[in-house]
Amino acid sequence: MRRFLHFLYRLMPKLLRVYGNSAKTSVGLKYFGLPRGRTGPQRPEDALGERHGKLIEGYLTARVIRKDGSTEKINLGADKFDEGPNTVTDAGVAFLVDDWDNSATDITNFNYHAMGTGGSPPSTPATSVTALVTEVESRVAGTKSQPAANQIRTVATIPATAPRTINEWGLFSAASGPTLWSTRWFTAIVLASGDAIEFTYTLTISSFTA
C-alpha cells in the first residue's frame, strides 16, 4: 500500500501539469510560463519572445504626389497611406551579420527604394524573398535621418513614367540587383503618368535586458 501511495505521490505533479495545461489551453489561458499547447520545459526562444516582442521592426508609409503637385488626401485629411509593419528578409539579416562580422558588406547601402505591381495584399511577403514580384520604374536613393537614437529613416520619391497600379515596395542595397532588406505589399495605389509616391521607411531597433 505504501509503495502504491508513493507511486501516486510521484505521478501527481506530472498529471497536474499535463492535464492542467491542457484544460487551460482549451479556454485560451496562458499557463505555467509556457506557450499554449506545450507541456515541456520552456524554450529560450519562447521566453525571449514573451519578454521582448519585436527587437527589429520596420514601418512604411507612402504619400501620393500628383503631377499637378497636389497630394492624396485620405483618412480625414491625412496625406499618408499608412501601410504598417513590413517584412525584413533572411537575405537582409544575413547581410547585416556579414557587415558586423568582417565588413564584407556595408549596411549603409540599404537606401534604394523600389516599387512594383506584383504584390498580393493582404498577404505578407515571405522572409525568403529576394526581389519584388514585378518591379517597375528606376530605384531611387533615399535621404536618411535619425528620428531617435534607435531609429534610422530613409525617404525617397519614385515617379511613374506610365500609368501604374502600385501594390509593393522594397528597400535594396543597390540601384539594381543585390540584396533586398525589406519589402511590403499593400492596397493598390493607382498612379497616372507623372504622378509619384513618396516612401518613408523607419527602422526601429529596441534595446532589452536579459
- How high is the pLDDT of residue 86? 79
**How many structural domains are present in the chain?**
2
Same domain? 38 vs 111: no
Highest mean pLDDT among 9-18, 81-90, 135-144, 183-192: 135-144
Which pLDDT value is given to residue 30?
Answer: 37
| Per-residue confidence band for 187, with pLDDT thresholds at 50, 70 and 90 | confident
Question: What does the pLDDT average to over 120-142?
Answer: 94
pTM (2 decimals)?
Answer: 0.72
**Mean pLDDT confidence for 60-87:** 70
Residues 133 and 192 placed together within one structural domain of the fold: yes
Least confidently predicted of 30-39, 76-85, 100-109: 30-39
Share of the chain above pLDDT 70, in %: 68
How many Å apart are CA 153 and CA 145, to the nearest integer?
Answer: 5
Find the mean pLDDT for residues 123-152.
96
Q: Based on the domain organization, do 125 and 36 belong to the same domain? A: no
| Residue 99 domain flag | yes
- Grid cell for residue 13: 505533479
DSSP result, 19-68: HHHHHHHHTT--BTTB-TT--SPPPHHHHHHHHH--SEEEEEEEEEE-TT
8 & 82 share domain? no
**122 located within any domain:** yes
Give the pLDDT of residue 121. Answer: 86
In a domain? residue 210: no
Amino acid found at 158: I
Is the pLDDT at 174 greater than 60? The verdict is yes
Joined grid coordinates for residue 129: 524573398
Number of other CB atoms surrounding residue 210 within 10 Å = 4
Question: With 50 as the cut, is the pLDDT of residue 78 above it?
Answer: no
Cell of 117: 505591381
The angle formed by the CA atoms of residues 113, 97 and 45, to the nearest 5 degrees, is 105
139 and 173, same structural domain?
Answer: yes
Owning domain of residue 176: 54-205
The answer to whether residue 157 sits within a structural domain is yes
Let me know if residue 49 belongs to a domain: no
CB-based contact 82:75 (threshold 8 Å): yes
pLDDT of residue 183 exceeding 90, the answer is yes
Residue 140 resides in a domain: yes
